[in-house]
Structure 1
Amino acid sequence: MRPWLLLPPQLAHDLIPFTLPFISMAYGKKTPEWNSFTWKDMTFANPLGIAGGVDKNAEHLNDWWRLGAGFVEIGTVTPLPQNANPGKIMDRDKRLQAMWNKMGFPSHGADEVFYNLASYAPKFRTPIFINIGKNRSTPNNEAVSDYLSLVDTFRPFADAFVVNVSSPNTKGLRDLQNKDNLRNLLCPIIDKVSHFEPTPVLVKLSPDMGEDALAEAITHCNDIGIDGFVLTNTTLSRPQGCHFPEEGGLSGAPLKDLSLRALQIAVQILGKNREDKLLVSAGGVMTPDDVFERLQMGANLVQIYSALVFQGPGFFHEVARRYNERR
C-alpha cells in the first residue's frame, strides 16, 4: 500500500518535508554496505543514491542516510533563489510508471543551501554531490559566471560537482551541450577547482541527444579533463499512450531504454582509456534488478527518483537485501 499515490502529485510532493522525517525513523542508523568502493578519497558504503531534483535544497540529508542511500546528490542549486516555472509543474502515470515535471530549477538559492549544508558538517555520513545550474534569467553567454560562483560557494562541502546542462525545463540550457559551449563552460570550472584541493567535476547529459552527438560530447568532455558523467537527465520523448504535455521532462520506466543506451555508449567510448572516470547511471531505475543491471554494464553508481515514488522509501534497504541474497 502506497497511500501517497492516492494523493494529487503536487500535494504528495508538498507533504514530503513533513512526512519524510517520520518515515525515515523506521529505518536503521547504519548505511547498508554492499558493493562498497572508494573513488578519489570518497568511500561509498553502497553505490545507490538519490538523483538531483529529489532534495533540491539539502533539507533532508539525515532522512536519506537513514533510508540507506550510499550517496546524496542535492540540487539543482542556482546562485539566486527562483520559483518553479508557472502553471502545472508535475504529474505521474501509474500505468506507465512515469513521472513528468516542468519545474525549471526551483531553488532557495546558494546562500540558504550553504546554510543547510553547514548545519550537517562535519557529520556527513555519505559523499555529497552538488548539482549546479544557472538562473533562468542568466543568458547562456554569461552562464559560466553562475556556475563559477556556485563552485566558490560550495567548495567546502562538495565531494563532487555535477554540472547540469541538460534539463529540458530551462529555456536554452541544452544548447550548452554543444562542443564549443561545453569547452567555454567546463574549462573555467576545471581551472577553478584545480586551484584548491581538487574537487571532481561531473557533467549531466541529456538522453535526447542522438548517438553521434552524445558520443561527441562524452569524448570532448573526457579530453578536457572532466572526471565523470551522470547519464541521464529527463527526456522530452513520449511513449505511446502518454498523456503528458509535449514540454517538460519525463522520467521513470519509459526513460529506461534511453538511459541504458547512454550508459552503453559511454562505456564503449571511454573503453580502456576510462581510467578513474566515474559513471553514474540514472533514469528508468525502478527495481533492484535495474540497479544490478546498470552496475553490470559498467556504472559505478546508480541513482533513483521515480522508484521512490512508485516503490516507496524502503527501496534502498530492499536493494541491499536483494544484493546480499544473490551472493
Structure 2
Amino acid sequence: MKPWLLLPPQWAHDLGPFGLKLFSLTQNQPTPAWKSFTWNNLVFKNPLGLAGGVDKNAESLKEWWAFGVGFAEIGTVTPRPQSANPGKIMDRDSHHHALWNKMGFPSFGADEVFYNLRAYDYKQTPVFVNIGKNRDTANEDAVDDYIYLIDRLRSQADAFVVNISSPNTKGLRDLQNKEALARLLEPVVQRSHKGDSKPVLLKLSPDMSDENLEDALEVAVKTGIDGFVLTNTTLSRPQGIQFPAEGGLSGAPLKDLSRQTLQKSLQILGKNRAGKLIVSAGGVMSPEDVFERLQMGADLVEIYSALIFEGPGFFREVASRYSR
C-alpha cells in the first residue's frame, strides 16, 4: 500500500517531507554496506543514492540517511531564492511508471541551504550539492552564479554537480554546447579545485546527439572535471505518454535513453574514464536496474522515480537483494 499515490501529485510532493519523517521513525539500522568503495577521500558504504531534485533544500537528509542511502545529491540550489515555474509543474502516470515536471529550479537559495546543511552535526554519507543558475541570469553571466554557489557552499559540500541540463529553465541546455561549455566549466572547475578543493561533476542531458555528447565529454575532460552524472530528464515522449511537450520526463520511459548515454559516454571517454566518478540516473526502477548500471560501469546509481512508485524502503530492498 502506497497511500501517497492516492493523492494528487502536487499534494503528495508537498506533504512528502512530513510523511518521510514519520516513516523514518521505524528505521533504526545503520547504513547498509554493500559494494563499498572510496573515491577522492569520500567513503561510500553503498553505491545507491538520492538523485538531485528530491531534497532540493537539504531539509530531509536525516530521514534519507535512516532509509539507507549511500550518498545524497541535494538541490538544485540557486544563488537567490526563486519559486517554481507558473502553472502546473508536475504529474505522474502510474501505468507507465512515469513522472513529469517543469519545476524550473525552485529553491530557498544558497544562504538557506547553507544553514540547513550546517545544522547536521554529522553527515552520515557524502553529500553532493547540485548547483544551477537563477532563471533571470543570462547565459553569458551564468558562470558567476556557479562560482558564487561554490564559494558559498564549499564548506558544506563533499562535491558539486553542475546542472546545465534541466529542460525546465529556458536556454539552460544551450550551455552544453561546446564553446559555451568550455567558457563555463574552466573557471568553475578551477575555482572548486582551489583551497579546500572539492570535486566537480557535470550533469548531462539524455537528449544530446552523439556528436554533442562527444564534444561535451571532451571539453569537460580538458577542463579537469572529476566526473559525470548521466542523465537528467528527457524532452522525448515515447508512445503512450500523454504529458505536455514541455517539461522533463523521468521514470521507466527514460530507462533506455539513460542506459544508452551511459554506454556511449564510457566508450567515448575510453582511457580518460580513469579516476572519473560516473553516476548513472534515469529509469532505475528495480534492484535489477541498479545492478545492471553498476555492471555497465557506473560507480554510483541514483534514484528518484523509484521512490515514488516503490517507496523509500527501496534502498534497503536493494541492499538485501545484493547480499542474497
Q: TM-score, normalised by structure 2?
A: 0.99
Q: Provide the residue aligned with 1:5 in structure 2.
A: 5
Distance 2:135 2:43 in 1: 35
Q: How many Å apart are 1:219 and its aligned residue?
A: 1.7
Q: Would you say 1:19 and 2:19 are equivalent positions?
A: yes
Q: Provide the residue aligned with 1:150 in structure 2.
A: 149
In structure 2, give the amino acid aligned to 1:249.
G
Q: How many Å apart are 1:266 and its aligned residue?
A: 1.4
Q: How many Å apart are 1:28 and its aligned residue?
A: 2.5
Query: Greater CA deviation, 1-10 or 51-60?
Result: 1-10
Q: Provide the residue aligned with 1:220 in structure 2.
A: 219
Q: How many Å apart are 1:188 and its aligned residue?
A: 0.7
User: Structure 2: which 5+ runs fail to align?
Assistant: none
Q: Provide the residue aligned with 1:114 in structure 2.
A: 114
Q: Would you say 1:300 and 2:294 are equivalent positions?
A: no
In structure 2, give the amino acid aligned to 1:7.
L
Q: How many Å apart are 1:268 and its aligned residue?
A: 0.9
Q: Provide the residue aligned with 2:319 in structure 1.
A: 320
Q: Provide the residue aligned with 1:311 in structure 2.
A: 310
Q: Provide the residue aligned with 1:234 in structure 2.
A: 233
Q: Provide the residue aligned with 2:89 in structure 1.
A: 89
Q: Provide the residue aligned with 1:59 in structure 2.
A: 59
8 Å CA contact 2:221–2:272 kept in 1: the answer is: no
Distance 1:132 1:194 in 2: 16
1:130-279 equivalences in 2 (<5 Å): 130-279=129-278
8 Å CA contact 1:93–1:99 kept in 2: the answer is: yes
User: Structure 1: which 5+ runs fail to align?
Assistant: none
Q: How many Å apart are 1:236 and its aligned residue?
A: 0.3
Q: How many Å apart are 1:203 and its aligned residue?
A: 0.3
In structure 1, give the amino acid aligned to 2:241.
C
Aligned residues: 324
In structure 2, give the amino acid aligned to 1:169.
N
8 Å CA contact 2:229–2:280 kept in 1: the answer is: yes
Q: Provide the residue aligned with 2:287 in structure 1.
A: 288
Distance 2:86 2:131 in 1: 21
Q: How many Å apart are 1:29 and its aligned residue?
A: 3.9
Q: How many Å apart are 1:30 and its aligned residue?
A: 0.7
Q: How many Å apart are 1:223 and its aligned residue?
A: 1.8
In structure 2, give the amino acid aligned to 1:62.
K
Query: Greater CA deviation, 259-268 or 164-173?
Result: 259-268
Q: Provide the residue aligned with 2:46 in structure 1.
A: 46
Distance 2:19 2:212 in 1: 42
Q: Would you say 1:129 and 2:128 are equivalent positions?
A: yes
Distance 1:107 1:268 in 2: 35
Q: How many Å apart are 1:194 and its aligned residue?
A: 2.4
Distance 1:5 1:272 in 2: 44
Q: How many Å apart are 1:197 and its aligned residue?
A: 2.3
DSSP 3-state at the match of 2:52: strand
Distance 1:12 1:273 in 2: 42
Map Cα deviations across residues 39-69 of structure 1 (whole Å, 9 max, x no partner). Answer: 0000000000011000000000101100010
Distance 1:37 1:232 in 2: 22
Distance 1:287 1:194 in 2: 36
Runs of 4+ that moved beyond 2 A = none
DSSP 3-state at the match of 1:53: coil
8 Å CA contact 2:235–2:249 kept in 1: the answer is: yes
Query: Greater CA deviation, 238-247 or 190-199?
Result: 190-199
DSSP 3-state at the match of 2:155: coil
8 Å CA contact 1:259–1:281 kept in 2: the answer is: yes
8 Å CA contact 1:50–1:73 kept in 2: the answer is: yes
Distance 2:271 2:224 in 1: 16
DSSP 3-state at the match of 1:156: helix
Q: How many Å apart are 1:149 and its aligned residue?
A: 0.4
Distance 1:205 1:134 in 2: 15
Distance 1:50 1:232 in 2: 13
Map Cα deviations across residues 138-193 of structure 1 (whole Å, 9 max, x no partner). Answer: 00010011000000001101111000000000000000001111111111111112
Q: How many Å apart are 1:257 and its aligned residue?
A: 0.5
8 Å CA contact 2:178–2:212 kept in 1: the answer is: no
In structure 1, give the amino acid aligned to 2:5.
L
Distance 1:12 1:221 in 2: 37
Distance 1:160 1:232 in 2: 17
Distance 2:34 2:243 in 1: 37
8 Å CA contact 1:29–1:65 kept in 2: the answer is: no
